[in-house]
Amino acid sequence: MVTPRVSKIVPNGYIGITLWPFGIYVSDLKYLTQGHTVNHEKIHWEQQKETIGIFFYLLYGIEWFIKLFFYGKGAYRNLSSEREAYSNDQNHDYLKTRKRYAWLKYIFKEP
């Protein structure tokens, strides 16, 4: 598993970003001690690893564009990968039991 690091690569206004295969980055040292933030980004790491990164970004963009018509500004929070991460970032054992491609069940499931 990758170790998160503090970096200026994180866009302003964001807490963290996962860029497989390069790493997980957070905007401030305080986020490294927030278990749910690190867990959230590690869930994204697994999602990106299973889709070889490039397909994750492609699917993320397509899904965001489609959901933009349904949810407007709420499209981001309704993306399947974000819903999986937000739903499970408090469960620190989640990655031990997570099934591959678990984010797929969130695509058509109502929020």
Query: Residue 62 domain-assigned?
Result: yes
Query: Residue 56 domain-assigned?
Result: yes
Q: Which of 50, 2, 1, 32 is nearest to 16 (CA)?
A: 32
Domain membership of residue 63 as a residue range: 5-106
Query: Residue 39 domain-assigned?
Result: yes
Q: Report the SS3 class of residue 64.
A: helix
Query: Residue 65 domain-assigned?
Result: yes
Query: Residue 57 domain-assigned?
Result: yes
Predicted TM-score (pTM) of this structure = 0.94
pLDDT for res 34: 87
Full pLDDT tens readout for the chain, 111 residues: 789 999 999 999 999 999 999 999 999 999 999 899 999 999 999 999 999 999 999 999 999 999 999 999 999 999 999 999 999 999 999 999 999 999 999 987 777
Query: Residue 84 domain-assigned?
Result: yes
Number of domains the chain is built from:
1
Query: Residue 67 domain-assigned?
Result: yes
Query: Residue 111 domain-assigned?
Result: no
